[in-house]
Structure 1
């Protein structure tokens, strides 16, 4: 959901040397003290999953959970972890998302990086850290703790990279998230009642609702695209009604073997332009900011809004029981769920940590079933066991049900701006031009194809 991050081009030689040295560092399971010199380093010990038996130690944890319920859940879970394992002291450093991104790169390249970090899973952050050998692969811990059973693969793949950092969405596991997010349809229940229609169960019903709202003088789809990236979510939703999910995954993860220049993508682009032509978006949408758009929706200006679950708290505060949320409907009522979505920042273990077993135990603790309950109680969207959480009827339950359905049935498709280090800027600008009639659907897709092919063929 966030603005795109750049992926720096590191030295291939450095990456290979660092990756080869991973077996000689604290990444080795079983380590609980600084690594011995390379010449005397013993073979990796088995994974140890009893934190109480690791002796007295301090774990330094960097996170970006600084707001409201985010901070509350971390404070509660950290206190519970230290109460259960008094031999492990937590040194928590909490920074804003932007500050964390700014300082983490320098910290990981230093001699004493944190043990556990939240690393943005995009190519410019986690991908670059993996390429530089600065994060531990967590597959041995995933096996020991059963993380592959706890998390569906549609969620885990957002933290997977090949060992050289080139392939995103497959390979080793490098992190585990706490929270989830999905892009869907927020809707105003009162306005649907006024229009005499029910929440749409199919995509044709949704388009019928947009047309009826327009004819009734309502704003069918609240939308602000001054920031450029909001159109990425709207286009992604339209695209996933027309393009096979596996093809979207190939494009979004920047892999070879797919193309933007397809009839299905043309159809998606044409549909978006048609919506603009028919007046389904708010007036002046390309000049309206994202915040202004969702705030207008919260004031009753709009029947629908395509947006992510991160807006739940603000919109629920504004609209109360009149707020609804649903996954984008398919061509038929029984179509498999497909929605743009992903996870919050995953927690990862740094390769220089002298306590990887303790770090893994900590990550397991803050992502287990009890932790998911704490996340729910503090107003967050847990990424695992979502459908099993007990929440009151209303918007929050709508969101939980939607994410649980999409993730549980492998229905999440990646954010399109993941594709290349520059794709978010390329796609955002191209969508503005498309919606402003400065580029045809074919020209729009040709722009995307150039960026995508340049990266995927060289990567």
Structure 2
């Protein structure tokens, strides 16, 4: 996933044939009619944002944490300075709040113009199926997005027009950031324990045991929100289950099964960690934010989490913060890690301002925007290799992302699998970790959801 050089931006009006697109003359806010049905219709795509007249663009995003909020504020200010005719009405919500409110907003008559929509079937897939998002292929052609981003990135925002196939079809969004779930660690605590960053997975488990014996919290986890344990389980799973099988399961395709010896071993290893006290006390009842914040305050040796926490953790721990890809069974094992892209920015089907919305998305994903993301402690999904970052935690993250993408080692988030899988997997993991379900019962629950969907989805 080494990003190509961005092509020059073109400011002109381009007449295109939008295959499978929603007509730009679709319903405006306030209309009671449904969106124009998807069909191949000619539409004029205008990329000269300064010539669009006075526009108010409502944007919903989930960039609420320190570094995330900083880059959004900086880019929005720069956009409005360049295009004073476009006023931004930004609504910023937490990830969970956005997920809760977005479905209702998109089904109404006056949805936002631009939204960050979770890539998974339960969000973006459902919105595509309902005709609530606009295909962006015409804009991708006009702005050169297909040259800016490799297909390995764009596939995370592609769906067939009926929402059935994930990873192929029309483009419905564009992300700003790259993501990889790895292992944050406290350098000072490791040194105090006489340890170095583990080179193998057995070394990592040994380090957890050593930390526990020394009275430290080996690993912080806050699983009240249910989804955080998905990242921990996915990390364990990808040490044991072949990457191609994980991808088949995560994209909800036929041809794989949760009921395998390797998945059973992953579930047993996770419950073994809980039995050995490798997590903080009461982890199933602690929120996600309190958990990573506690790690940032020096409580805990390790934290399995995504690179989106870099800016906030570095602010608290400084050079004591380290980040690494989950190690394999041997030091030279090929890298495998959960990850992909951050939530992509999409244009709603009922937006009366699609050209302004596309200009905004182009601006916040440009080469200049990638520099802003880097400067605010985020991980840009494009031009990553062109950024200059200081030695320390940020360099750790950029190196890890570059390594795993160069080796095609990213596997999708498990909650992508089916429209209901995020809830199914999150609840099942809580039960597994609380000893309310055995590993076999846990996997049977996942298999039922996965197989029912895969077999009915054609």
TM-score bin, normalised by smaller chain: 0.7 to 0.9
Q: Does 1:89 align with 2:86?
A: yes
After TM superposition, the structure 1 = structure 2 runs for residues 360-379 of structure 1, keeping only pairs within 5 Å, are 360-379=358-377
Q: Distance in 2 between matches of 1:416 and 1:233?
A: 8
Deviation, structure 1 residue 324: 0.7
Contact 1:325 1:395 in 2 (8 A): yes
Residue of 218, 221, 230 corresponding to 1:220 = 218
Deviation, structure 1 residue 66: 4.9
Which residue number corresponds to residue 8 of structure 1?
Answer: none
Which residue number corresponds to residue 141 of structure 2?
Answer: 143
Contact 1:154 1:411 in 2 (8 A): no
Contact 1:152 1:408 in 2 (8 A): no
Give the aligned CA root-mean-square deviation in angstroms.
3.1
Q: Distance in 2 between matches of 1:150 and 1:216?
A: 49
Q: Distance in 1 between matches of 2:107 and 2:282?
A: 46
Q: Distance in 1 between matches of 2:313 and 2:64?
A: 20
Q: Distance in 2 between matches of 1:431 and 1:354?
A: 42
Q: Distance in 2 between matches of 1:264 and 1:356?
A: 47
Which residue number corresponds to residue 164 of structure 1?
Answer: 162
Which residue number corresponds to residue 242 of structure 2?
Answer: 244
Which residue number corresponds to residue 181 of structure 2?
Answer: 183
Q: Distance in 1 between matches of 2:410 and 2:218?
A: 25
After TM superposition, the structure 1 = structure 2 runs for residues 67-78 of structure 1, keeping only pairs within 5 Å, are 68-78=66-76
Q: Distance in 2 between matches of 1:111 and 1:435?
A: 42
Secondary structure of the structure 2 residue equivalent to 1:44: strand
After TM superposition, the structure 1 = structure 2 runs for residues 44-443 of structure 1, keeping only pairs within 5 Å, are 44-45=42-43, 47-52=45-50, 54-58=51-55, 60-64=57-61, 65-66=63-64, 68-85=66-83, 88-97=85-94, 100-101=98-99, 104-110=102-108, 113-443=111-441
Which residue number corresponds to residue 31 of structure 1?
Answer: none
Contact 1:153 1:410 in 2 (8 A): no
Deviation, structure 1 residue 162: 1.2
Deviation, structure 1 residue 121: 2.5
Structure 2's unaligned 5+ residue stretches are 1-17, 27-35
Secondary structure of the structure 1 residue equivalent to 2:305: strand
TM-score, normalising length from structure 1? 0.82
Secondary structure of the structure 1 residue equivalent to 2:182: strand
Distance 1:439 1:379, change over 3 A: same
What are the Cα deviations for residues 175-204 of structure 1, in whole angstroms up to 9, with x where unaligned?
001123321111111122123232122223
Residue of 430, 437, 446 corresponding to 2:444 = 446
What are the Cα deviations for residues 71-109 of structure 1, in whole angstroms up to 9, with x where unaligned?
4433432343344445x4233232324565555445544
Distance 1:63 1:298, change over 3 A: same
Q: Distance in 1 between matches of 2:455 and 2:291?
A: 38
Which residue number corresponds to residue 15 of structure 1?
Answer: none
Q: Distance in 1 between matches of 2:182 and 2:47?
A: 38
Q: Distance in 2 between matches of 1:222 and 1:394?
A: 21
What are the Cα deviations for residues 13-42 of structure 1, in whole angstroms up to 9, with x where unaligned?
xxxxxx999454448xxxxxxxxxx9xx99
**Which stretch of the first structure deviates more once superposed, 434-443 or 123-132?**
434-443
Which residue number corresponds to residue 33 of structure 1?
Answer: none
TM-score, normalising length from structure 2? 0.82
Q: Distance in 1 between matches of 2:107 and 2:57?
A: 16
Q: Distance in 2 between matches of 1:294 and 1:385?
A: 28
Deviation, structure 1 residue 330: 1.9
Distance 1:70 1:209, change over 3 A: closer
